[in-house]
Copies of this chain bind each other. A is one copy, B any other.
Amino acid sequence: MVEIQKKFIGFSSAALFQILRDGQPRTKAELVDITGLSRSTIQLRIETLLELGLLAPVNDAVSTGGRPSAQVALNPTARVVAAVDFGATQASVAITDLTGVILARTSSKIIIADGPETCLGWMVRTIRSELAALHLKEADLISIGIGLPGPVEHSTGRPSNPPIMPGWDDFDVPGFVNHHLKATVLVDNDVNIMALGEQKFAWPDTENMVFLKASTGIGSGIISSGILQRGAEGIAGDIGHVQIARGHSVPCRCGNSGCLEAMAAGPALAQQLTLAGVNFKGKPIATLSDVVAATKAGELAAIQAVRQAGRDIGEVLTTCVSVLNPSVIAIGGSLALAGEHLLAGVREVVYSRSMPLATEHLTIAQSRAGLDAGIIGASVMAIEYALSIESVDAMAAALES
């Protein structure tokens, strides 16, 4: 109990650091004023943070007269985090500094269905080689943020019955990674990670937003009151299997019928166009990429299918608008590359079916972070932990022992 309260009130180095993590330089006198701590205590705590590499002296202090007063500020480059984004058939690993600047990045064709040992083994090797190329040590890596294409129990880092990830169910991702790298491992669903990345990249002041990913599947990440919402089992935002009005008779791989995903995700659109005998450049439209290419080329049947998918997605998003009252809906994923036709369908339904107050200040936009949303979000998640009281406390304790 006392421990929790010490963290809350926070007189440790970690708590002092919370003031400085905004990056603004401050003198010791200012820190004494802010905290009420004695000058000697401030001195001790700053020394710990300097030694950890989290703070650095700032030399261009503007003095208020008399001798120049030494300032300290967040040192964003001494320590790093890793950001990892796994898709179904592709993965990226980046090293970023503590403000999210990408220092190194590798993308590769990695098949998630090859299982956790293979995928995470590649990830560990890639992190190591990136660190080496940056002349950094493994000890410089504070944390690793990982996005996976399936439901994840965020508190334990274990996937929960992920449909496209054989071998991953209940796999202890942090445990496996920590056999090779000591850094703290945080795992989440890829759409949640993308929502964090989109917010950081394009909407930093938005406290209530929905990020929708439309691709092979359909899912969303929800930010309410400024916080990524995971729900009771970590599956908040998992809207791909909401039944839409026009879809009753279409069977879905989940066992129900009429699900949004069965009507409006990439494979559904490709199948609809194939069955309708629609060709593009002399060949049947067979994949999501074909749908996007045909739409961009102005093929009418593809445009109509994408617009209708937008309406279907809009039907579910209309309920999200009533439930969550967001100010931004960002639409990403491969299907969003089809451009304004998808958004036009979404807007058509959301704006016609919502209450006036809910849409007065609502922006519905294509994802601006685009394909980088996942890697940026994984970095945000890793940095959020790296700079937290919990993390800095642990680093300070390791230093002192």
Interface residues of A (CB under 8 A from B): 1-2, 5-6, 8-11, 15, 18-19, 24, 30, 33-37, 41, 151, 160-161, 207-208, 220, 222, 224-225, 227, 229-239, 241-243, 245, 254, 256, 316, 318-320, 322-327, 353-358, 360-362
Q: Establish whether residues B322 and A238, one from each chain, have CB atoms under 8 Å apart when the complex forms.
A: yes
Known: A36-B41, A233-B358. 4 other contacts (CB 8 A): A9-B34, A232-B362, A239-B323, A241-B354
Q: Establish whether residues B233 and A229, one from each chain, have CB atoms under 8 Å apart when the complex forms.
A: no
Contacts of A232 in B (CB 8 A): 207-208, 325-327, 361-362
A292 to B95, CA, bound (A): 62
Contacts of A245 in B (CB 8 A): 243, 245
A151, A316, A322, A327 — which one has the most chain B CB atoms within 10 A of its CB?
A322
Q: Establish whether residues A357 and B19, one from each chain, have CB atoms under 8 Å apart when the complex forms.
A: no
A67 CB → nearest B CB, Å? 22
Q: Looking at the complex, which one of B11, B319, B360 makes contact with A242 (CB distance below 8 Å)?
A: B319
Contacts of A239 in B (CB 8 A): 319, 322-323
A318 CB → nearest B CB, Å? 7
Q: Looking at the complex, which one of B30, B254, B319 makes contact with A355 (CB distance below 8 Å)?
A: B254
Are A235 and B161 also in contact (CB < 8 A) when A18-B8, A242-B319 are? no
Q: Establish whether residues A358 and B238, one from each chain, have CB atoms under 8 Å apart when the complex forms.
A: yes
Contacts of A10 in B (CB 8 A): 9
Contacts of A19 in B (CB 8 A): 5, 8-9
Q: Establish whether residues A323 and B323, one from each chain, have CB atoms under 8 Å apart when the complex forms.
A: yes
Q: Establish whether residues A224 and B236, one from each chain, have CB atoms under 8 Å apart when the complex forms.
A: yes
Q: Looking at the complex, which one of B15, B236, B355 makes contact with A241 (CB distance below 8 Å)?
A: B355
A233 CB → nearest B CB, Å? 5
Q: Establish whether residues A326 and B231, one from each chain, have CB atoms under 8 Å apart when the complex forms.
A: yes
Q: Sample 18 A-B pairs with CB under 8 A, ordered by A number.
A: A8-B19, A9-B19, A9-B34, A9-B35, A11-B35, A151-B357, A161-B357, A220-B323, A224-B229, A224-B231, A229-B324, A232-B361, A233-B360, A237-B323, A238-B325, A238-B358, A239-B322, A319-B320
